[in-house]
Structure 1
């Protein structure tokens, strides 16, 4: 494998953390989850290989592209048409990564770039058409099905849409164990939390960014609720709804597109949490994590530059005094 891929142990650790989430998604929604994952892996590998081989004249591709493909897939509804899924991953890898020069040079998270592109261009299959999920005790569940059937708008709405459109709240236990409709990777919050612990223990993901996301989200949610805004979800329900947890653990902590300095990581995370609440509460979109991370990616270099410059100035002043 090293013949074709750059060795990136960190990326393999992320893939290991994603395996239980992928298996849970298959159990809950059927084997089409794996099918879309394999299709997107093929599209991502082909795109990066062609760019590396014929544009940059390099022989190896990054293992990070595997992570990009799986993360991208986990942000999609299971019933999304294959061609739309392929368009998204090709767009994300090429315009989110390769146009900047390849691995380590991209400003934005390529998985989110791809998801954002198809979200804007093909909103209906990403926001309206949802499938049911297997109940926890109904083994073998999705392991015996290709895909679970579509469900209607009211009973099948995601927790975010149910709250936004019908002021309906979802039980915390259902949110924790994936007993709700939604995209493939965001439903089982318990597994995402366990993945966060694993990634932090392996020193692969920044706990400061995750904590910053939570602080920004909870802080603004409490402020807006105290001000009397009824369209703001309760902090716990908001964190467990939609893609907030998945985004905070796997997307926001991308070491390339996130802030690098310790104070910068906190500010980076807080920006994501705050912007997510604003978009969810006042914008047209019921989600917001995707756009919040892209906005924070834009400011990450500026945030780091400010703290790095201040640190250098302080060191120079101390040296001059001594």
Structure 2
């Protein structure tokens, strides 16, 4: 067997930064089991297998290895899904995301859009019932989650914290922080997301400006709407803890390839995603706006970077001339 572990190096490129993000996602994956049983592990394995095979179908024919970045894409994608999602939808979505969100642009390092969000957006629009109306409440205790496969399907509901907020109901902050509420597999616990998010920033696997600017934009926009007493807008803290905002800020917005490279552009990009997320939550038919906000802002990343470089060069030229 060739040196380099179980998988020969010519077939798999292990990227240390990406593997740190994988480690950062593990608390969210563990939480999905504690809250929703062992089925989330099967969902994740299907996404990892289908996503890796989809990338391998392109790279191995070119004599290139599969990158470990596909593990990050597959994990983020799977953790953003409901625990009840059919496995065939899991496979279809991740294959679409890898092929059309990444490989169609030339593979790793060339994708314009976040591949995980491309895949999730595709299944979200194509199979809305499975993605928006079949949530299950968590198990009554963590011990039940460890022993169980999935909460009883007779308790399936369309009510998530964001739906309840839109309906004018109060949502306690405790469940939002700890995660024992209905929602996507790995996004319900603010505590676990923060643990993983702080880890990847500490390990320099994610750019802190992107995460902080996204949360700042969301908090500022939510505060303005809340002060103006706009109906259906909860207090800023509830907005930050509910849904996938925290998960998106740390693990989606910080994706290095589809995000800006210049520091000023990173602030604009993150603030734009955070602000747009709150506005979409309030004024669109979609209760969760992170996915659409990220894809929308991905489109303007080259323009943002070019604008920053243009003004920097202009400022430098003026300084030289004076």
Same fold (TM over 0.5): yes
What is the aligned partner in structure 1 of residue 179 from structure 2?
A: 178
Corresponding residue of 1:142: 145
Regions of 4+ moved over 6 Å: none
In the aligned structure 1, how far is the partner of 2:228 from the partner of 2:177? 29
TM-superposed CA distance for 1:61, in Å, is: 1.1
Aligned-pair CA distance for 1:69: 0.5
| Structure 1 equivalent of residue 3 of structure 2 | none
The alpha-carbon deviation at position 3 of structure 1 amounts to 3.4
What runs of 5+ residues in structure 2 fail to find an aligned partner?
A: 1-6
Note if 1:77 corresponds to 2:78: no
Instruction: List runs of 5+ in structure 1 lacking aligned partners.
Output: none
The match for 1:52 is 59
Q: 1:116-151: per-residue Cα shift (whole Å, max 9, x none)?
A: 00000100111111112124xx34222211111132
Q: How far apart in 2 are the matches of 1:110 and 1:139?
A: 32
Instruction: Write the deviation string for residues 282-310 of structure 1: whole angstroms up to 9, x where unpaired.
Output: 10111101101111111111111111121
User: Does 1:158 pair with 2:160?
Assistant: yes
2:60 counterpart of 1:18: no
2:284 corresponds in structure 1 to: 283
Matched residue SS, 2:41: helix
Compare 312-321 and 282-291 and name the one that shifted more.
Answer: 312-321
Deviation string, structure 1 residues 170-206 (Cα, Å, up to 9, x no partner): 1111101111000101011101111121111111111
Moved more, 219-228 or 287-296: 219-228
Deviates more, 1:193-202 or 1:284-293: 193-202
Show CA shifts across 1:3-26 (max 9, x none): 322231100000011112111111
SS of the counterpart of 2:299? helix
- Distance in 1 between residues matched to 2:38 and 2:318, nearest whole Å: 61
CA distance in 2: counterparts of 1:152 and 1:168, whole angstroms: 19
Is the counterpart of residue 38 in structure 1 residue 45 in structure 2? Answer: yes
Matched, 1:304 2:293: no
Count of matched residue pairs:
314
Alignment RMSD, CA only? 1.3
Which whole-Å CA distance do the structure 1 matches of 2:17 and 2:177 have between them? Answer: 27
273-282 vs 226-235, greater mean Cα deviation: 226-235
Matched, 1:7 2:8: no
SS of residue matched to 1:140: helix
Inter-partner Cα distance in structure 1 for 2:64 and 2:271: 39
Kept after mapping to 1: 8 A contact 2:165/2:233? no
Q: Is the 8 A contact 2:10 2:65 kept in 1?
A: yes
Residue 130 of structure 1: aligned partner:
135
- Distance of 2:147 and 2:14 partners within structure 1: 36
* Residue pair 2:137, 2:156 contacting (<8 A) in 1 also: no
